[in-house]
Every structure is written in structure tokens, then in C-alpha cells.
Amino acid sequence: MRERPILIVGFVTPVLLALTGAEPDGSVVLVEEPDVVRKRDLRAKLAGSALVRELIEWEHTRPGAADEFYARHRDLDPVAVVPLIEYATPFAARLAERYGVPGAGLGAALILRDKALLRRVSAAAGVANPASATVTGPADVLAFMRAHPGPVVLKPANRQAAVGTQIVHDPAEVDRAWANCVEQDEGIFVPDRPMELRMLAERYVPGPEYSVEMLVRGGRQLFANVTGKQLYPGPRPVELAHIVPADIPEDLTETLADLTRQVAAAVGFADGILHCEWIVAGDGVPYLVECAGRIAGDGIMEIIDHAYPIKLLHSYFALMRGETLPELPRRATGGAAVRFVPMEPGVIDAVLGIEQARGVEGVFLVDIQVGPGRRFAGLRSSWDRAGLVMTEADSPAEALQRAEKAAGLVRIEVRPE
């Protein structure tokens, strides 16, 4: 009898590489949007995969897509349904309900996918949220700024990777900022059909940023980590670095984990993993930024594995299969960091220093995704970053120092357009 497959929704290269060899050959059925399959040439990329049994093209972001899929593929009988990308979370949650396997729950997934709805629900549960309003044009943004003096964050309610997000300091910037933010092309990573545009204006809360990565079963925490963040300077809040575990007092670590548990309870999150982002204001109050019911991106899953005695991705998949997990670690045994490599706008002439960066003590990955001839118009979202380095050390601070040193050795030479 053929083994029940793991149904994965969304193609993420590092995850499939990490699962290869750890999961049985032919154990994965991958579901992805037809446009994404075409634009990323996934059939060719997966042709030699021992892990992926089948690639099913399905428009999973459409309403009713999961129930339609279930009616067509009821005999798949997966042992788990796992979303790997933000836009796949409602589809995967509903499909898990239909197949009777662990999942977030459709209600929770829909709330987490809608930043405006998440604000209302989490605020009702006592979680601090910045003042926020739905806006449909520059006039609404100006009205919000009059009601809430000071900088605001203009952002979409239903996007990922900081797409369409900008900090606006002056009302005179609003028209240009609106024009910039409503341009939300994610290229090869999304289907070609239009996505609904819903924008928010929110009071800007200055302060250090963190994220909590939490495994949850039956609404209860099994594992939690707090990640420290650094952002690129400027009006686009794109992450420059992540540090695991966050180098903060233990009481703040506990507070952020407790607040994440409150968010999970507020939305009714059942089974899976949360990536919940927070800003700690000057008065010490953590404010919710957003929360996703999926794995963290930006290499956070990988650096957690290097700071804790855990394989977090493997534990997540075991959880989604309904397996009993061993007791998971409460504390890190070291530190790890990921640092992105900056570049200036222009046309790339050369990428230098990669081998030198790999030679820095503690470096376990250098991944540069640009090359000569590539045009870079400037940093607009996480998709625009050139590459990264990952490091490990005995402490988070030392890991970050190593990452900064290695990233500084990579030189991306550009000429102006």
C-alpha cells in the first residue's frame, strides 16, 4: 500500500531541500498556482526530485478552492496539509478540515491573513495595537494623519514580504507614497490575475522589533523562540538582519511569548506554527505588528536550528502529521544570525568577496542571488534583497558580529543606469 503523502501548498526551495532525505522519497504532493508553476519553471526544477511524488497545479487563492480540490482529489488521503507561503494558509487550513488532519482552522487562517481583521480581534482580547484605519486613497490617509499626528505606516492589509509598505512622516509625502505603495507586483511568486487591493494607515510606533516563532498543538504552546530584528534605514521597513535568540532580558522574552499565546487564543489557532511580529515602544509596551500562521521566512527557521538543539521544520511537519513530539527545548544553547547584503541602485557589474565571506569563522551559508547585468531600482520589499549570510556562535551578539563581518566582505559593484 502506498504511503499517505504530505500535501504541501506553495513552493519554497530551502524547505524542500531540507526535507529531502529527512522525509521518505515520493512522500510529498506539491500544490502550486499554475501561473507560478509556469513563471518559476517548476516542472523542470522538480523533474529529478526524489521527494516530490506529484505536482498539482491549482488556483489555491480563489474562494472555494480548497473544497473544490477536496472534491476532485478526495482519494489523496494526505497524512498532513502544510502551507509554506502566506497566501496558501486559508486553503491549507480548510483542506486540513476536509481531510480530517491537524491544521490552523479556517477561521483562524482567515483572520491572520487580514491585518485589519487581526487588529480588531486581537485588540478585543486585550493585545495592544497601534491606531489603524482602512484607507482607499490619499485623502483618507491625510484624514488619518490629522486625527493621529506624527508619522504613519501605509501598508496593505493582505500582502507579504513588506510589499507596498512605507513609513510616511509628512502629509506632503502622501500622494507619492500612495502611488508607490499601491504598486504591488510580486513577479514570479504570485499568479498573474489581480489581487484585491486593501490598504491600511497606522500610527507609527518607534522601537525595537521582534518576532516570535511558536509551535502550537490544540491551541497550546509546544515551543517558542524570540528573534531580534534590524531594519534597513529609510522609509521601507525591510529586514536587514535577524538574531536568534533575541538578546533581551528574560522577562521581555516571556512577555512576547505570552502575548503570542494571547493572539493564538484570540483567533482560535489550533495546530501549526505562528510567526508573530512585535514592536516594543519606548514605554515598554509591545504592540502587535502582524501575525502569520506559517513558517518564518528570511532564514529564521534555519538559524533557530543552529541556536537551539532542535530541527524546527522537522518538528513542525511531525506536529502536522499528528505525531507525538518529544519535549522540545526551552532555551537556546548558542546564537545564530542572518544578515542581508546591501547594494546600491544601478546595473550590477560584478559580485566579489563571496569566498572571503565564506571563510569567516561561524559562517555556514552565503547565498547571493544576483549577478552581472541585473538591474536594481532600489529597495521596495523583501523580494529586492541581493542575498544573505548566516552565522552561528556561542552567543547571539557574537553571531551578529560574524554575520556583519561576512556581509561586509561581499561587494556588489554597480554602475548607474
In the chain, where the domains are located = 6-101, 103-126+205-333, 131-203, 336-417
Cα–Cα distances (Å) from 176 to 20, 138, 167, 170, 248, in that order, read 46, 9, 12, 11, 37
Domain covering 6-101 in this structure, CATH number = 3.40.50
Note the CATH architecture for domain 336-417: Alpha-Beta Complex (3.90)
Mean local confidence (pLDDT), 181-189: 68
Check residue 108 and give left, alpha or beta (phi > 0: left; psi -120 to 50: alpha): alpha
Mean pLDDT of the region 58-70: 96
Residue 177: the pLDDT is: 86
As a residue count, the chain comes to: 417
- For residue 100, give the amino acid letter: G
The dihedral formed by the CA atoms of 139, 143, 149 and 155, expressed in degrees to the nearest 10: -60
CATH of range 131-203; options 3.60.130.10, 3.40.640.10, 3.30.1490.20, 3.30.1360.120: 3.30.1490.20
**Which pLDDT does position 393 carry in this prediction?**
98
Strands 52-57 and 28-32: parallel
Average pLDDT, the chain: 92
Q: Which residues of 259-284 are buried (b: 16+ CB within 10 A; e: fewer)?
A: bbbbbbebbebbbbbbbbbbbbeeee
Q: Look up the CATH architecture of domain 103-126+205-333.
A: 2-Layer Sandwich (3.30)
Categorize the per-residue pLDDT at 2 as very low, low, confident or very high, splitting at 50, 70 and 90: low
Residue type, position 216, single letter: V
Would strands 387-393 and 335-340 be described as parallel, antiparallel, or unpaired? Answer: antiparallel
> Model confidence at 381, in pLDDT bands (50, 70, 90)?
confident
Q: Name the pLDDT band for 161 (thresholds 50, 70, 90).
A: very low
Highest mean pLDDT among 9-13, 229-233, 332-336: 332-336
Taking 80 as the threshold, does the pLDDT of residue 53 lie above it? yes
- Identical fold for domains 6-101 and 103-126+205-333, yes or no, is no
Q: Which of 12, 322, 46 minimizes the C-alpha distance to 56?
A: 46
SS3 of residue 393 by DSSP: strand
Per the CB < 8 A criterion, the answer to whether 240 and 337 are in contact is: no
Alpha-helical (H) ranges within 280-386 are 300-307, 312-320, 354-358
Query: What pLDDT sits at residue 159?
Result: 56
Q: At what angle do helices 89-99 and 106-113 cross, to 10 degrees?
A: 180
Highest mean pLDDT among 324-328, 348-352, 359-363: 359-363
Give the closest residue to 351 by CA, choosing from 376, 333, 369, 335. 369
